Amino acid sequence: MFDFLKGFVSPKKLRQVGVLGMNARNYNIIAKFNKRSLYPLVDDKVQTKKLANSIDINTPHMIGIVEHQYEVKDLLQLIEGQSEFVIKPAHGSEGKGVLVVAHYENGIFTTPSGKVLTFKEVYQHVSNILSGLYSLGGQYDVALIEELVHFTDVFKNFSYQGIPDVRLIVYKGYPALAMTRLATKESAGRANLHQGAVGVGLAIKTGKAVQAVSHNLPIALHPDTGADLMQLQVPLWKEHLLIGAQAYEMTGLGYLGADIVLDRDRGPMMLELNARPGLSVQIANGIGLQPILQKIEETYPKNLTPQERVEFVLNN
């Protein structure tokens, strides 16, 4: 654990303990191994989903997309027959603009917290997405409507209302570091660390909790449910790692973040990918990323299949 997080820490000290800083990530890793021409493959969630499905990577099913303002009025036709779904911007980040509808009936939309929305309010939300309110760079966007991921009892009491997700850092096709993000009351049921979710570092070989943090400070219990976070272990861990490993061939990105959710019925599913993943996974694990990337670079075998890379990680 980084026992010095409560106060100011010099960049030199952070480098000494192997922490990968923002500048080092941008110039030494991303600039070298992520071609900018490949960014659209992960910045556009619609394109990411289609790519993933083309190589049989599990993702939430797409119900439909809204591309133009004049199409918003037909939203009710698009979701006809659906009782639950998620509306999100195709180019959004950090969970901004994501609307989860846990129940829909007769023009009434209900969120997981029980908040009731009218069609007019949902219409406005979709319109805001299209105008670029939540997109990277504020550019015009597309609204993606997809199936709702169903909570699994494995995470009962570990997350407050919202679905947890796993963030995998993948370097040259090898899963390098992982954490799960658990929703809290403060984060309004969202698995978003910036909004107050809990980050739990996970052992890369087992998916078992190694430590937990809230607002970058260590905690032992979930702030709302009181669950012992050190008892958490993500099931189907090998399948999680395989999704991350496959994302390397899928995108050509040497350094990426893969966000994966565990559905009650369909198992692990790729939610989205990130060409510029944040560095909070280091704090969640209490270890620096730099020596891990260096070890992968210098000692891990090249030219393995995704399955072989996962086996190597699990057994070495």
Which residue type, as a one-letter code, is found at position 57? I
Question: Count of CB atoms within 10 A of residue 2's CB?
Answer: 19
Domains of the chain: 11-42+152-315 (3.30.470.20), 61-146 (3.30.1490)
Nearest to 79 by CA among 131, 117, 29: 117
pLDDT tens, 131-145?
Answer: 999 987 888 999 999
DSSP code for 315: H
Whole-number Cα distances in Å, 84 to 39, 81, 111: 31, 9, 9
Which pTM value belongs to this model?
Answer: 0.92
Helices 306-315 and 237-251 cross at an angle (nearest 10°) of 140
Mean pLDDT for the stretch of residues 247-261: 98
Backbone angles phi, psi at 115, to 5 degrees: -70, 135
DSSP code for 198: E
Q: What is residue 214's three-state secondary structure? A: strand
Backbone angles phi, psi at 105, to 5 degrees: -160, 130
- pLDDT class of 4 with cuts at 50, 70, 90: very low
Q: Where does residue 205 rank: exposed (0-12), middle (13-18), buried (19+ CB within 10 A)?
A: middle
β-bridge partners, 214 = 217
% helix / strand / coil in the chain, to the nearest 5? 35, 25, 40
pLDDT tens, 221-243?
Answer: 999 999 999 999 999 999 999 99
Cα 17 from Cα 51, distance rounded (Å):
37
Q: Which strands, in side-by-side order, build the sheet including 116-117?
A: 103-105, 108-110, 116-117
pLDDT tens, 172-202?
Answer: 999 999 999 999 999 888 888 988 999 999 9
Question: Count of CB atoms within 10 A of residue 79's CB?
Answer: 19
pLDDT value for 127: 97
pLDDT tens, 51-74?
Answer: 999 999 999 999 999 999 999 999
Dihedral sign for Cα 136, 47, 200, 265, please: positive
Cα 132 from Cα 123, distance rounded (Å):
15
CB 17 within 8 A of CB 242: no
